[in-house]
Structure 1
Amino acid sequence: MQELLYLVHRIPYPPNKGDKIRSYHLLRHLSERYRVHLGTFIDDENDRKYLAKVRNLCGETCFLDLHPKVARLRSLRGLFSGQPLSLPYYRDKRLQAWVSNILGTRPVRDALIFSSAMAQYVSHASHVRRTMDFVDIDSDKWMQYAATTSWPMSWIYQRESRLLLGYERQVVRDFDSATFVSEAEADLFKQLAPEAAAKVTYFNNGVDADYFSPQNIYANPYPTGTSILIFIGAMDYWANIDAVEWFARSVFPAISAQLPKVEFYIVGARPTATVTALAALPGVTVTGSVPDVRPYLAHASLAVAPLRIARGIQNKVLEAMAMEKIVIASPQAVEGISASPDQELVVANDESEFVSRIITLLQCVPNRALGRAARARVLKDYSWNESLGRIDTLLSQPQTS
């Protein structure tokens, strides 16, 4: 069996948030074809209980603790070295030593790197075929953050965007190939780095359509006699925080004024103080972590994705579509999803459109055809087996760099 080095910025389990869903399915797929040597960080102590499960999919492993507060302080070195802050944030001499040992002692021919900051560990490993899974264009995401904040943070985010884009372009020049989470994301990067366009491709995220199936039966977690709008996501992630705060404060009050029995549920782990405070608003519930999001999806009236900052593909949208839920989303939230507006999901451009379209949808007879069409789209275009076949094709090509 061939051997492969796989570096991931966060332990690829459990698959309960966007990056972990993709990195886990990649690991599981690769483990069927390669002896995978995994190097990764643990930034949540709760994830330690999954180490054995991850090890079972791997050959050699290196799990290192990453304390976010310490890493943020370490990242400030980038201000003095002219580097993007993301690089010192994830820099660790122990991981570098482990990578060097693996590449020096094991017959590794391929390295797959997940997230741009991890590329620094194989920057000089030109003797192996290196594939970079950027997933999203992180540099563009930092630019979006800059547009939503004031100085001095806006300056820091603009700096990060500029320097990180330079680093992303360098990585693609040095590596053999680079992938993104959607065709739209890949096309945008080709515009930002035209010199590397020939090396850039994509593979979609997938959905476990059997797990997220509308045929499964669940107890109703909601109060009787209510209509539920649901948002699901990791609630310590800035883009999700911004989305639910905007929706709860600027959109939902106008909906509940006309439809008093409508409630807004925010479902997801690690809610920040900003998110928790939203539970004080009338009709808003913040659940925190739940054992299974599917009962909440199954019994919700509508799934909302009012993201104003977004890149790539939103798994929360695909999972709701797989369960035949009508999803009403911002253009940013559906940018990388090949679904037809008003036929497979609903797009709202601003506050007034969210209000009017949600009220219309809640007052009408449920549109079962739209929900069925949504699931059909997921089954057609977002199967993990089909998506990950593109990685097999990449790894079978000759080395170019």
Structure 2
Amino acid sequence: MAGYLRHCSSCRQVADLTDVVSLLHRRMLRFAPSWSAKVFGRVEARRLAFWEKRVARLVDLVLLVSPVDAAELARMTPRARIAVLPNGVDLDYFRPLPDPGKPVLIFWGHLRYPPNADGIVWFCREIFPKVREVLPDAELLVAGKAPPPEVVALGNLPGVKVVGYVPDLRPYLAQASLVVVPLRFGTGIRNKVLEALAAGRAIVSTPLGCEGLEVRPGVHLEVADDPQSFADAVINLLRSPTRRAYLAANGRKLVEQLYNWGTIGRKLRALIEN
């Protein structure tokens, strides 16, 4: 869409880039499955960075959803004017749900998106077996559009159910006591975290999974970075309804304060007016 900027030279211009996508491709390099994928990733990251810097220099204001992405673009283009405008969540649609009190986990997202596919495969192969060693009845629901073959195959693992695309996530959220966000690369902020907080669900996330959000580990969610500590956090929360309730209440309060669309809309209006 930035190609249309050449027709708008007489007016103020705001580019909502959302994420710094070149950063996403650089982060993906560590997990590239082959040397050819690494080469492609490096080329794509450079191409994207060229256009991101060009657009940032052309416009009067760049909007990004995450302070991490904003800092990266500021490093790439020091003279650009950049503001952070986070994503929000529909607080009426995602209302707090009763905790079912069952050892059921849920993960969702567009499953062909590489960070989601990589994250849930990593969780199912490296983390979930450790959970089931302690809690044999634990189950995992995987919801989302267009699961690739490696994600579909996860449904053959004990306790894992790949439900694929669902028209309404809420009935599946209602079945789960805990949300997992095992992402290892990505950019921006994860809407699934905002939706889970709004629905009153406790979360275990990697540091990157909750990057860019005003969340505090141990207050709004639990954060773990390696398979054993992630599994331990999941097990501890599944065993502690009181702890889940504490995180859920704090998380809902956070999204009501910072991530409701009214607050975000007023911030956008102020940015445009200024």
The bucket for the TM-score relative to the shorter chain is: over 0.9
**Alignment equivalent of 2:96, drawn from 205, 208, 214:** 214
**Structure 1: where are the runs of 5+ without partners?**
1-117
CA deviation profile, 1:129-187 (whole Å, cap 9, x unmatched): 22111111101001112221121111111111122112111111111110000233212
Q: How does 1:1-400 map to 2 (within 5 A)?
A: 118-149=1-32, 150-196=34-80, 199-214=81-96, 226-367=102-243, 368-397=245-274
Deviations 1:3-37 (A, max 9, x none): xxxxxxxxxxxxxxxxxxxxxxxxxxxxxxxxxxx
> Which structure has more RCO (C-alpha within 8 Å, separation ≥ 6)?
2
1:208 positional shift: 0.9
Secondary structure in 2 matching 1:265: strand
Between the aligned partners of 1:299 and 1:393, the Cα distance in structure 2 is 40
Offset at residue 203 of structure 1 (A): 0.7
TM-score using structure 2 length:
0.94
Q: Distance in 1 between matches of 2:48 and 2:256?
A: 35
Q: How far apart are residue 310 of structure 1 and its match?
A: 1.7
In 1, Cα distance between equivalents of 2:43 and 2:185: 18
Task: Judge conservation of contact 1:226–1:261 (CA < 8 Å) in 2.
Answer: no
TM-score by length of 1: 0.65
Structure 2 unmatched runs, 5+:
none
Write the distance in 2 (CA, Å) between the matches of 1:128 and 1:288. 45
| Contact 2:96/2:252 (<8 A) preserved | no
Separation in 2 of the partners of 1:236 and 1:242? Answer: 9
Deviations 1:55-97 (A, max 9, x none): xxxxxxxxxxxxxxxxxxxxxxxxxxxxxxxxxxxxxxxxxxx
Say which one has the larger Rg.
1
The alpha-carbon deviation at position 299 of structure 1 amounts to 2.5
Counterpart CA distance in 2 for 1:319 and 1:226 is: 20
Distance 2:36 2:179 in 1: 35
Whole-Å separation in 1 of the counterparts to 2:9 and 2:241: 60
Aligned Cα root-mean-square deviation (Å): 1.8
Aligned partners of 1:162, 1:285: CA distance in 2, in Å?
A: 38
CA contact (8 A) 2:106 2:176 kept: yes
1:226 positional shift: 4.9
Structure 2 distance, partners of 1:366, 1:325, is 12
Q: Decide whether the 8 Å contact of 2:116 with 2:183 is kept in 1.
A: yes
CA contact 1:203–1:388 (8 Å) conserved in 2: no
SS of structure 2 residue aligned to 1:334: coil
**For residues 240 and 270 of structure 2, what CA distance do their matches in structure 1 show?**
47
Alignment check: 8 A CA contact 2:26 2:45 kept:
yes
Give me the whole-angstrom Cα distance separating, in 2, the residues matched to 1:132 and 1:145: 25
Please give the alpha-carbon distance, in whole angstroms, between the structure 2 residues aligned to 1:123 and 1:136: 22
Aligned residue pair count: 272
Shift of 1:257: 1.5
Q: CA deviation at 1:124?
A: 5.0
Identity %: 37
